[in-house]
Structure 1
Amino acid sequence: MPDIEKIIAGFNAGRDPERLAMKYKAMRGSPFVFLRGTCHLFYERLPREKVLDDAPPVWICGDMHLENFGSYKADNRLIYFDNNDFDEACLAPALYELVRLLTSVLVGAADLKLSRAQAFALCHTAVDAYGAALVFGKARWIEAETSVGMVRDLFDALASRTRAAHLDRRTVLKGKTRVLKVDGKKALPVSDAQRSAVTQFMQRFAAGEPNPEFYRILDVGRRIAGTGSLGVDRYVILVEGKGSPDGNFLIDLKEALPSSVGPHLHTPQPKWQTEAQRVVEVQRRNQAVSQAFLRAVDFNQRSYVLRSLQPSEDRVALSDWNGKLPRLEEVVNSMAELSAWAHLRSGGRQTSSIADDLIAFGNRRDWQLPLIEIATRCEAQVQVDWKAYCEAYDRGAFELAGKV
């Protein structure tokens, strides 16, 4: 078995075969989707350069790319735009975060129909915005009133969407009761054993909450979402919420696995009680306001993250840049700023860098161009790996792996 097959199949071993097959098929679609689905491979291939390892240590999300930003309803019931995936979160040199974002710009250029020059312009936008946000030294955030361009378009679209409309996209009404749409696109059916286990878990969880009836389960499905995490044990749970049929809530329950970045770091990591505690704690530190219902929980004697369901549609439609590069520059500028603000916000926690160190780093001018050069090499490696993957996939290697 060639190297690429061993690495990818080994990393995904034990995942739900049905959703894993979806992941493998999606990764065949383009180098950008492949990059999103192989965070572990990216860090395994990442060049060990001094400029990367000498950057100040910060709390990173670990899987930074163009599609890992979106809107969410926070625990204060307001909507924010921010990084929204912390499965791979860890303590790492700051430029590990940024080099993956730049690589995603270069790899994603073909999908977005960007010229090479335009893609590099966006990379320069990102490093300049990140550095400037660090120099400013104060963490900010993005909400409707402070958003611009395509991010503002997203907020405007969300402002006109009712809870009933949101539920209608994921559920169907049977009389006055909603059930999940189990259509193989957003959700798959659960077994009787899975339904029973999730129901019992939610009953135990609800017993410790102020309003247990809020969490009364109406339906459960295996959730289909993301690329990298497809196949990880994950459920969408429809609960009573504020009352049926239009006050129901959707909750996401997802197993937390070890960060795939960690094995490739020299930075000492703190000891976490569980992987879910790591994910939830870093998300709480990095986001201005935490996502609704965000908790680390135990389910089936394993570690899971419980949170409100965040629709994959609640992301900026990057393809709508309409040939106007400033529209994409505004989005990338926002993403880079959000990364810097997260690093500032979480600074000084468990040996992460304090604001003074990050401000000093932002003022330096010796890392920007080398970082873009490293991202260019990463992009070339992604292209090589994707071609090798396609050859293996086309001869059926990953079809067999998905059935293990």
Structure 2
Amino acid sequence: MAASAQAYVRGSTVHFYEWLASGNRARLPQGPDIWICGDCHVGNLGPVANIHGDVEIQIRDFDQTVVGNPVYDLIRLGLSLAMAARGSDLPGITTAHMLEHMIEGYETAFLPRDPKNSVELNAAMPEIVKRLMRKSAGRSWKHLADERIEGVKPVIPRGRRFWQMTVEERRAIDLLFAQEQVRRLVTSLRSRDENAEIRVLDAAYWRKGCSSLGRLRFAVLAAVGAGKDERHCLMDIKEAAAPVAPRSLIGDLPLDNAHRVVEGGRELSPFLGERMLSAVLLGKAVFVRELMPQDLKIEIKQISIDNAKSIAKYLAHIVGLAHARQLSRPKRKTWLAELQHNRSKSLDAPSWLWNSVVALVAAHEAAYLNHCRRYALENSG
């Protein structure tokens, strides 16, 4: 989190919602009770493959998903984009234009449309996203294996990222993969025999970011089929913790956190959601998914003024589609009217979005510097 201000934003979801819960913010519109991402920053969107091999840009993380107010996703995305602009040393006017384009892209997702039309008809795909899509389409198992487990050998290397498991943990994973529901999940890809047997080749505790510390997180290398038809796959098992994103008091939210993550994923990102399964491991609620070579995250290290506007519009449109697909046409129309209510004539972005992002940028800048100071003090000498 000390690596950059953007990294701090990604890892400080709790701080984000603490600010929203405080009284020092603009009054937010109350949107429809729908599934939201809850942690909608730039890195949580990207190319995602479905079981048939198709690839689309969709939301790709659901740890914080709840039935709640969609404005939380908009503000979190706006903060992420604003911090990306600051990291690229862009003038403040660019941030204002980004938020204008962002709300425009989001709103177009709620306009009447032919469901068969592609995303590009409503929001042009930026060049950075086109390059990522081309990269995604050209990737294979070898690319994934090289990145994740340092080669295609049927072992997971122990070291900084992967740690040795206990005998109890390995036994529990073997029992989990012996379940029929897990076998069906692993063999669900179009390229695999749905009747094939699977077996665990290796497994390790996976230290992957802040969210893996103190919780169960395992990487499992499995074999599908046998002999010349044997194929390998890498599965991710992650404990589902309670969300910090505020939930609606009206919406029906599963009590089991793994069920919550999977259900939210299927509503927000059908491509990834259909590849997920909730289960119980060592008494903990976990969700299981296969890591696909085509799954990538959008990373913005440097951004130009022109690209900033198109990226903001496009990514907000993707989020809008995830929200809109859950609503009937009359409810989409009502939410669109609410978004356009009392809009300033001089600034197209609504004041609640602008004021929220400005206040959050200031709060996160200060919090980030204090975090870096503590990190430096703890690691000095």
Structure 1 and Structure 2 fold alike (TM over 0.5):
yes
**Could you tell me the TM-score, scaled by structure 2's length?**
0.82
Question: What SS is found at the alignment partner of 1:178?
Answer: coil
- CA deviations over 1:84-130 (Å, ceiling 9, x no partner): 11111112222111111111122333333433232332222111211
Corresponding residue of 2:346: none
Corresponding residue of 1:195: 170
Question: 1:50-199 residue pairs with structure 2 within 5 A?
Answer: 51-136=27-112, 147-171=125-149, 178-185=154-161, 187-199=162-174
Corresponding residue of 2:261: 279
Quick one: distance in 1 between partners of 2:33 and 2:127? 32
User: Kindly tell me: are residues 178 and 172 of structure 1, through their superposed partners in 2, closer, same or farther at Cα, counting changes over 3 Å?
Assistant: farther
The 10-residue stretch of structure 1 (157-166 or 247-256) with the greater mean CA deviation from structure 2: 157-166
Question: What SS is found at the alignment partner of 2:131?
Answer: helix
The residue identity in structure 2 corresponding to 1:37 is: G
Corresponding residue of 1:325: 305
Contact 2:58 2:269 in 1 (8 A): yes
Following superposition, the deviation at residue 212 of structure 1 comes to 7.0
The residue identity in structure 2 corresponding to 1:374 is: S
Corresponding residue of 2:199: 216
The 10-residue stretch of structure 1 (336-345 or 51-60) with the greater mean CA deviation from structure 2: 51-60
Quick one: distance in 1 between partners of 2:287 and 2:269? 16
Question: What SS is found at the alignment partner of 1:316?
Answer: coil
The 10-residue stretch of structure 1 (193-202 or 106-115) with the greater mean CA deviation from structure 2: 106-115
Corresponding residue of 1:17: none
Contact 1:52 1:93 in 2 (8 A): no
Quick one: distance in 1 between partners of 2:260 and 2:302? 35
Corresponding residue of 2:314: 334
Question: 1:235-384 residue pairs with structure 2 within 5 A?
Answer: 235-241=218-224, 247-262=231-246, 267-291=249-273, 293-309=275-291, 314-319=296-301, 321=303, 324-347=304-327, 354-366=331-343, 368-384=350-366
Corresponding residue of 1:36: 10
- CA deviations over 1:227-253 (Å, ceiling 9, x no partner): 455543211111113557982111111
Following superposition, the deviation at residue 195 of structure 1 comes to 2.0
Following superposition, the deviation at residue 296 of structure 1 comes to 1.1
Question: What SS is found at the alignment partner of 1:354?
Answer: helix
**Structure 2 unpaired stretches of 5+:** 188-193, 344-348
- CA deviations over 1:35-82 (Å, ceiling 9, x no partner): 211211210112555641533333210001111112222123222211
Identity %: 20
Following superposition, the deviation at residue 172 of structure 1 comes to 5.5
The residue identity in structure 2 corresponding to 1:339 is: V
Contact 1:256 1:303 in 2 (8 A): yes
User: Kindly tell me: are residues 114 and 138 of structure 1, through their superposed partners in 2, closer, same or farther at Cα, counting changes over 3 Å?
Assistant: farther
Contact 1:293 1:308 in 2 (8 A): yes
Quick one: distance in 2 between partners of 1:30 and 1:358? 35
**Corresponding residue to 1:386 among 344, 358, 368:** 368
Contact 2:49 2:271 in 1 (8 A): no
Following superposition, the deviation at residue 153 of structure 1 comes to 0.6
User: Kindly tell me: are residues 208 and 188 of structure 1, through their superposed partners in 2, closer, same or farther at Cα, counting changes over 3 Å?
Assistant: closer
Contact 2:143 2:293 in 1 (8 A): no
Quick one: distance in 2 between partners of 1:309 and 1:190? 20
Following superposition, the deviation at residue 376 of structure 1 comes to 0.5
Quick one: distance in 1 between partners of 2:47 and 2:206? 19
User: Kindly tell me: are residues 381 and 205 of structure 1, through their superposed partners in 2, closer, same or farther at Cα, counting changes over 3 Å?
Assistant: farther
Quick one: distance in 1 between partners of 2:293 and 2:224? 17
User: Kindly tell me: are residues 120 and 207 of structure 1, through their superposed partners in 2, closer, same or farther at Cα, counting changes over 3 Å?
Assistant: closer
Quick one: distance in 1 between partners of 2:372 and 2:26? 33
**Structure 1 unpaired stretches of 5+:** 1-26, 400-404
- CA deviations over 1:118-168 (Å, ceiling 9, x no partner): 23322221112112322346777659xx84411111111122222233323
Q: CA RMSD in A?
A: 3.2
Following superposition, the deviation at residue 387 of structure 1 comes to 2.7
Query: How many residues align structurally?
Result: 360
Contact 1:179 1:238 in 2 (8 A): yes
**Could you tell me the TM-score, scaled by structure 1's length?**
0.78
